[in-house]
């Protein structure tokens, strides 16, 4: 059975590598801070991004990677606070 465990670990590492590469290849510098983990065909995204838009893009791209069946998105949106101009 060691081969089955090694194969699963190798497959998980490959899936993580492919998901992370797909996200970073989008060209948004912030996406390089997104970390990926996998448990079988479930991929978990972690990190901090400045907008919900960037979060959505990362999630959508992760779902398109072959082998991914589920994405658990734990990315935190930490946008720059804006002071209201309304008084």
In three-state form (DSSP H/G/I as H, E/B as E, the rest C), the secondary structure along 38-62 is EECCEEEEEEEECCHHHHHHHHHHH
Residue 86 belongs to a domain: no
pLDDT at 1: 39
Name the least confident of 3-7, 10-14, 45-49, 51-55: 3-7
pLDDT at 80: 63
pLDDT value at 68 more than 90: yes
pLDDT at 79: 72
Phi, psi of 38 (to 5 degrees): -140, 150
Instruction: Tell me which residue range forms the domain holding 25.
Output: 2-77
Rounded to an integer, the average pLDDT of 8-35 is: 89
Residue 71 belongs to a domain: yes
Provide, for the chain, the percentages of residues in helix, strand and coil under a 3-state DSSP scheme, each rounded to the nearest 5: 45, 25, 30
Q: How far apart are the C-alpha atoms of 22 and 68, rounded to whole Å?
A: 12
Domain count, the chain: 1
Residue 85 belongs to a domain: no
CATH number at residue 17: 3.30.1340.30
């Amino acid at each position: 059975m060691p081969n089955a465990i090694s194969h699963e670990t190798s497959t998980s590492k490959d899936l993580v590598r492919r998901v992370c590469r797909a996200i970073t290849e989008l060209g948004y510098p912030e996406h390089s801070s997104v970390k990926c983990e996998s448990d079988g065909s479930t991929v978990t995204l972690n990190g901090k991004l400045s907008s919900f838009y960037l979060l959505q893009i990362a999630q959508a791209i992760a779902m398109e990677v072959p082998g991914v069946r589920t994405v658990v998105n734990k990315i935190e949106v930490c946008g720059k606070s804006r002071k209201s101009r309304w008084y």
